[in-house]
Structure 1
Amino acid sequence: MARNKFSDGPGPSNRQLRVGELIRRTLSDVLNRGDIHDPELNRMSVTVTEVRTSPDLKIATVYCLPLGGDNRPEAIAALKRNKSELRRALGREMTMKYTPDLRFLIDETFDRMDATRELFARDEVRRDLDGDDED
């Protein structure tokens, strides 16, 4: 089957995964060192959990979460406000032809895990699950 530039294929390529992980580690280091000239952002402890890159590596979607999960809108606003400085810092530390444009989103994985845990803890669900073991 022929692929075109609009098809995503089965998933990210190894190159996308490698570059995403490199961006995640580098961005985490930059944020931990406080290299950005924004006191509000430097006061926050932001965890970069995942970075997904577009197939052409020109866009990087950064999934992050402030420590404790509090102040999510403020954290995203601070990251977006300092996007160009973060991108310059990435460009200095990484050896890529193009430094990708950064997009910041809250990582909702932990919220979904908590919701799933709560669902499995409900009595009617536990009863149904326990009933499957008896067959």
Structure 2
Amino acid sequence: MLKEFKDFAMKGNLVDIAVAFVMGAAFNKVVTSFTGGIVSPLVGLIFKSDFNDLKYVITPGTLDDAGNMTGEIAVLYGSFITSLIDFIIVAFVMFMLIKGISKMKKKEEAAPAAPAGPSDNDLLKEIRDLLKK
């Protein structure tokens, strides 16, 4: 059973998926950093607000002695908008990546095959004709 599991785990597709998963997680961190550090501040300049601070307060909270808000119930739609921008960026990059890979595969498939030599029947006929002489 251990050998079967090892064979399963070492199949090319499973290893490829694992590598893609790790690369995707790393890429997601880059996009999140890009959105949080570059996109959100630029959009914040336009709307005079930071996206992550945008919220709809349902029940206001109270400030405690340390200055922290407690008991507030709010819909954090700014955080959702930031996550949505992250998703759109990741989806667009993945779309472009898949499109590029598909284009490269089509070029590989369209490459001309090596010229075919004479068929077996042609060779046998040629041998027959040579033997008749």
**Structure (1 or 2) with the larger CA radius of gyration:** 2
TM-score by length of 1: 0.28
Counting helix residues as a fraction of each chain, which structure ranks higher? Answer: 2
TM-score by length of 2: 0.28
Counting strand residues as a fraction of each chain, which structure ranks higher? Answer: 1
Higher-RCO chain (CA-CA 8 Å, sequence separation at least 6):
1
